[in-house]
Amino acid sequence: MSSGFGKPNEWRRSMALGGQMLTPAFLIVSAVAALGLILSLWREYAGLGAASGMNDGYSWGLYKNFNVTTLTALGSGGYALGMLVYVFDRRKYHVLMRTALLVSILSYSAGMVSLGVDVGRPWNFIWMGIPWVWNMDSVLFEVALCMTAYVMIALDLENLGPLLERLEGKQFPKLVNEMAHLAFRVVKAVYPFFVALAFILPSMHQSSLGSLMYQAGHRVHPVWQTPMLPLLYLLMAWVIGLAFVVVVLEASCAIWKLPMDWKLLSGIARISGFLGVAWFVIRLGEVWYRGVLGKAFQGDLFTGVFLAEMLMVLIPSVMLASPGISETPRKAFNLLMILCVGGMLYRYTPTTIAFMPGENYSYFPSVIEVLMSLGFIALAVIGYLYTVKRFPILPVPMQLYLRTAEPAVCVKEQIA
């Protein structure tokens, strides 16, 4: 191979991994998902109270607060990375887009399943089709509309590429090939319109997830309750969305022994770190400006949570943003994990830990609730394991691609 293909590790194309689908890990994850779905059926029969720790004080539990509010932030990589590539002209990161978009659609879809299980009277969703009952003042309505549109329109179209590429493979009939090719040309023509939609919709619903808690007014601890919640929530989605893309790609390289383009990935890790520092500064300034910084240091539970959030964002962010990190993928992985946990904690805290309905109400997720929540996450993991093996998603160097893959056809041979 000539040097024209770039350095041995330089990611150039996405490739389907191929290989065995029913691995032990896949079966374990499937079992978790199956258990979650069976319990979901039971929840429909027994009611929400029996399936969760929710009550009239804490009316939202893991299904909304964790699987939707928290985990869609983690899955905001497709949105944040897309903005980097197409708005801020960092096109060298384009090769990561498919992974980011897959993570996004899976995390959002799992969130939508969770949301479907969480609502008490789902059949009334038909009213979503009747504009005059829409409550335009409702934050939740806006979240529901923008999230549904994002998953069902923008993300779907963005994720069509790998599917069409596979359908153009030689193992399919010629007619399928031709139709896939036609569809590809249509997708290519309308792509920027939907990509821009895939930027504006998450900007709206990720910030509105913050507004949801702004609605709770005095019942959210003053350190967290602020009109700036939308901005802080949005910014955090960028931070951990980008961080999680790097985490997923590093983990994938480790699991399937793929060459890693650390030069490229460390760039994303650094940007994530810079954004994390920016978030920290805005958050601290905001808490200080409202004069409630003292309330964060009264030596109670909230002090611990506040410190955990702030430090778990600040320390990894500063270390990731500093130049030395580019030599140590393993260290960066750990830092990114801490950053993700810190960011998720921030997104989760106003909804539950800092939410104080009073009247002796208390909430702790029940075992069934936790199992269901894990089941929905497992669904996303199944989706990831299946898709990266059957569709060209994960980025690989050009040599590896040419050595392993008949273009657009996944192969059975191991790629190592």
Partner 1 sequence: MKPEKQDVQPEKQGVNRRGMFRILQAGAAAAVIVPKAQARVAEDQIRYAPKGAYAMLYDTTLCIGCKACVTACNEANQLRPDPGYSKYINNIYEAPPSLNSQTKNIIKLYKNKENTEWSFVKQQCMHCVDPSCVQACPLSALSKGAFGVVAWNGNQCIGCRCCQLACPFNIPKFEWTAVNPKIVKCEFCSHLLAVGKKPACTSVCPRGAVIFGTRDDLLAEAKKRIAGAPGKYFDNRVYGEKEGGGTQVLYLSHVPFTKIGLPELGEEANAAKVRTNSETIYQGGITPLVIYGALLGVTRYFFKEHVKEAEEESAQTGLKEQL
> Interaction with partner 1 in 338-367: which residues (CB under 8 A)?
357-359
Separation CA 150–CA 153 (nearest Å):
6
CB 210 within 8 A of CB 231: yes
Q: C-beta of 104: minimal distance to partner 1 in Å? A: 15
Q: How many CB atoms lie within 10 A of CB 225?
A: 20
Using CB under 8 A, pick the residue from 125, 297, 364, 386 that binds partner 1.
Answer: 125
Taking alpha carbons only, the member of 68, 11, 7 closest to residue 376 is 68
From the list 32-40, 113-121, 247-255, 329-337, the region that binds partner 1 by CB under 8 A is 113-121
Q: Is 390 in the site for partner 1 (CB under 8 A)?
A: no
Quickly count: other Cβ atoms within 10 Å of residue 291's Cβ.
Answer: 9
277 binds partner 1 (CB under 8 A): no
Assess 7 for contact with partner 1 (CB under 8 A): no
10 is an interface residue for partner 1 by CB under 8 A:
no
Least distance to partner 1, CB of residue 14, Å: 6
Identify the residue among 47, 255, 322, 413 touching partner 1 (CB under 8 A).
47
Selected from 9, 13, 149, 153, the binder of partner 1 by CB under 8 A is 13
Cβ 392 to partner 1 shortest distance, Å? 7
Residue 316 CA, distance from chain mean position: 19
**Is 244 a binder of partner 1 (CB under 8 A)?**
no
C-alpha distances in Å from residue 218, one per residue of 60, 61, 187, 215, 224: 17, 19, 47, 9, 10
User: Which residue matches tokens 């969760």?
Assistant: 52
Residues 319 to 338 in contact with partner 1, rule: CB under 8 A:
none
Among 37, 216, 284, 318, binds partner 1 (CB under 8 A): 216
Are residues 231 and 331 in contact, defined by beta-carbon separation less than 8 angstroms?
no
Query: Of residues 49, 170, 257, 300, which one binds partner 1 by CB under 8 A?
Result: 49
Q: Which is nearer to partner 1, 32 or 252 (CB)?
A: 252
Residue of 36, 111, 161, 383 that binds partner 1 (CB under 8 A): 161
**Is 13 or 390 the residue whose CB approaches partner 1 more closely?**
13
251 binds partner 1 (CB under 8 A): no
Count of residues near partner 1 by CB under 8 A: 91
**Cα 390 to Cα 31, 237, 313, 405, distances in angstroms:** 21, 29, 36, 12
Collapsing DSSP to helix, strand or coil, 58 comes out as coil
Tell me: does residue 176 bind partner 1 (CB under 8 A).
no
Q: Rounded distance, CA 182 to CA 217, Å?
A: 52
Binding of partner 1 at residue 182 (CB under 8 A)? no
Which of 89, 174 has the CB closer to partner 1?
A: 89
| DSSP symbols for 362-405 | -----HHHHHHHHHHHHHHHHHHHHHHHHSS-EEEEHHHHHHH-
Using CB under 8 A as the binding rule, whether residue 190 contacts partner 1 is answered as no
Helix H or strand E segment including 14: strand 11-15
Q: Are 410 and 16 in contact (CB under 8 A)?
A: yes
User: Between residues 219 and 390, which has the closer beta carbon with respect to partner 1?
Assistant: 219
Residue nearer to partner 1 on the CB measure, 235 or 377: 235
Residue whose token pair is 């003053």: 222
Residue 325: CB atoms within 10 Å: 19
Give yes or no for residue 397 binding partner 1 (CB under 8 A).
no
* Residue 17 touches partner 1, criterion: CB under 8 A: no
What residues have CB less than 8 Å from 133, skipping those under 6 apart? 127
Rule CB under 8 A: is residue 174 a binding residue for partner 1? no
Query: What residues between 54 and 93 interact with partner 1 by CB under 8 A?
Result: 54-57, 59-60, 85-92
The single residue among 214, 224, 233, 279 that binds partner 1, judged by CB under 8 A, is 214
Which region, judged by CB under 8 A, interacts with partner 1, from 70-78, 206-214, 364-372, 378-386? 206-214
In whole angstroms, the minimum distance from the beta carbon of 341 to partner 1 comes to 25
Q: Compute the 3-state secondary structure of the chain and give helix, strand, coil in percent, each to the nearest 5.
A: 75, 5, 25
Q: Cα(395)–Cα(250) distance, rounded to whole angstroms?
A: 11
Among 9, 30, 148, 203, binds partner 1 (CB under 8 A): 203
Q: Can you give the length of the chain in residues?
A: 416
